[in-house]
Amino acid sequence: MDRIFEQMPVVISSLNIGFIQTLKLFFVTLLGAFPLGLLIAFGSMSHFRPLSYFSKFVVWIIRGTPLMIQLLIIYYFPGLVLHNPVWGGGEAGRFLAASVSFILNYACYFSEIYRGGIQGVPVGQEEAGLVLGMTKSQIFFKVTLLQMIKRIVPPMSNEIITLVKDTSLARIIALQEIIWAGQAFMKGSHGISGAIWPLFFTAVYYLIFNGILTVLLGRLEKKLNYFR
């Protein structure tokens, strides 16, 4: 126990650096997947058959295979198979490949949530807007948008909390996120070796961050509870 207290300052500062990489991946994924998911949702709802089939095909592939495999393929395929290492070397290259994988993966899940939200607003809402002389865009922004947001917040919250934990999968391509940083103390890092507790301790970071997210998303959900 004494040894843990001795090691604590070094470990914490190293884990903090790893967690910053975790957070970067988390926010970049959200930033990319929110709009891309909307595009895929519109694609799969399109009346233009080839586009809707293509969107649904992509969603099927991405949701039907493990994110870890997608990470490995996206990171290694260009360099090892095509001999064209598009991601570049080092941490920056790994981060880029991880971001692309996560954005694509999460956009597909988000697209299904958006689709449910959009199709869940009764058609009568749009018709009521039309007979009142509103334009399509007025109907979208003034009538249906908020009702969609209200519908997608609970399932989105679920996905966002899962994403926090899923970022740890980027360890598989050696992205230096918090799991990687914790594991490093087993082999030897900063003069500490053979310590497994830092790896276990990373769970506290996830737990606290998800605790904060749960409170914030819960507040948003409550805020939208003024109507039904």
Contact between 223 and another protein per CB under 8 A: no
**Tokens at 96, concatenated:** 């880029």
Residue 5 burial (CB count, 10 A): 8
Q: Tell the smallest beta-carbon distance from residue 44 to another protein (Å).
A: 24
Side chain identity at 158, as an amino acid letter? N
Considering only residues 35 through 54, tell me which ones interact with another protein, judged by CB under 8 A: none
Query: Which of 31, 92, 128, 174 touches another protein (CB under 8 A)?
Result: 128
Count interface residues toward another protein (CB under 8 A): 21
- In this chain, which of 50, 89, 133, 194 binds another protein, going by CB under 8 A? 133
Q: Nearer Cβ to another protein, position 61 or 146?
A: 146
Nearer to another protein, 5 or 227 (CB): 227
- Assess 214 for contact with another protein (CB under 8 A): no
129 binds another protein (CB under 8 A): yes
Q: Tell whether residue 132 is a contact of another protein (CB under 8 A).
A: yes
CA dist 118 and 37 (Å) reads: 13
User: Which string of x and - marks every residue 140-159 that binds another protein (by CB under 8 A)?
Assistant: --xx--xx--x---------
Give, in order, the Cα–Cα distances in Å from 116 to each of 7, 49, 111, 122, 155. Answer: 49, 19, 9, 12, 10
In the complex, the smallest distance separating the C-beta of residue 137 from another protein, rounded to whole angstroms, is 11
Least separation in angstroms between residue 127's CB and another protein is: 6
Under the rule (CB under 8 A), what is the footprint of another protein? Answer: 122, 124-125, 127-135, 138, 142-143, 146-147, 150, 226-228
